[in-house]
Amino acid sequence: MPNAQIVGAGHYVPETVYSNEKMSTYMDTTDEWITERTGIKERRFAKKHEETTTTLAAHATREACKDAGISVEEIDFIIFATLSPDYYFPGCGVLLQRELGITKTEIGALDIRNQCSGFVYGLSVADQFIKSGMYKTILLVGAEMHSMGMDFSTRGRGVSVIFGDGAGAVIVKATEEENSGILTTKLHSDGTHAEHLAMINPGSHGGYHLGKEHFGYEEKDTPGDVFVTQKMFDDGLYPNMTGQLVFKNAVVKFPQVIQEALKAVALSTEDIDLLIPHQANLRISQFVQKVLQLPDNKVFNNIQKYGNTTAASIPIAISEAKKAGKLIKGSLLCLAAFGSGFTWGSALVRM
């Protein structure tokens, strides 16, 4: 049975930098306030009406293919993870296929909507497809354009100062090398607190879960008229987050799911050469590092430069770490993510 190996990585972040000081011109905030709570100093925002989640992904894909030494025509399946797709439907997978100019091969494209843990979920899917022999060369992308859907007023600062735009991609190929490639992946979810990190509006709920008063829903005789209500527009079509609840759960689930993966392959934290956590919050990453007793040189963080790029954060970090020489042949890479849903997961990869 073949193993699934990451053979190439690439990333792309928009040119325009938005520092904390620049964010303070849009809302009541300061560099000190943002840095203390998140560790973020700046983020990138894409060019409105010129760039999309798909075009960001295409840049990252071409770089990943170059790094892997393959052409885009050699890709035989696409997995695309994002929470900020170009359209409500279809998903970005087929749009990326078109953007890359590989529609003639009619390869499959799968879209994953697991937000912050989307890349880890996608890596697990790629692993199973390759181990089953169904595909040999898979493109896995995480890309986000958060800037198109955030509230840049003081009301939305608790969310909008955290997130940035960007894309990361990896090429996953079949290999016959033993003890190489993706060693294990662990995936979990708990929908109990789903609405505490969510973009609820617009949606087909019609107020069903959280009550008519919250959504402004009124019973009518005809179907299909509650996808968007006036109250949704009044409240704002923006994401919301209960930060303390998310933090409290993340610092528990991150170490748990990492230890679960290590136990599954009879390894320990001492065996980890590099941990790349999803870049949700520098304080979370530092807490997890302390729990696992890992030195600074074994943990990769770049949230300071890019903010939280959700599904894109891990592949962007993989690409940067690889370019920096931190992922040499035979090194053990540990990936972990926690986010909306709640969903979380981990992966161990022998490079």
The conformation of residue 325, written as its DSSP 8-state character, comes to T
Rounded CA gap, 248 and 190, in Å? 14
* Cα dihedral 255, 249, 158, 347 in deg (nearest 10): 40
**Amino acid residing at 157:** R
Spell out where the chain has E strands: 3-12, 17-19, 42-44, 77-81, 108-112, 137-144, 166-175, 181-189, 197-198, 240-241, 274-277, 332-339, 343-350
Who contacts 219 (Cβ-Cβ below 8 Å, separation ≥6)?
none
Tell me which of 65, 92, 116, 334 is the catalytic residue.
116
Task: Name the strand (E) or helix (H) holding 195.
Answer: none
Specify the 3-state DSSP secondary structure of 250: helix
Rounded CA gap, 339 and 278, in Å? 9
Active site residue 278: yes
Active site residue 11: no
Residue located via tokens 């926690």: 338
Tell me which of 20, 114, 249, 308 is the catalytic residue.
308
Active site residue 116: yes
Tell me which of 11, 59, 146, 278 is the catalytic residue.
278
Rounded CA gap, 281 and 97, in Å? 32
Q: Between β-strands 137-144 and 77-81, what pairing exists: parallel, antiparallel or unpaired? A: parallel
Q: Are 304 and 217 in contact (CB under 8 A)?
A: no
Rounded CA gap, 217 and 213, in Å? 7
| Catalytic site positions | 116, 278, 308
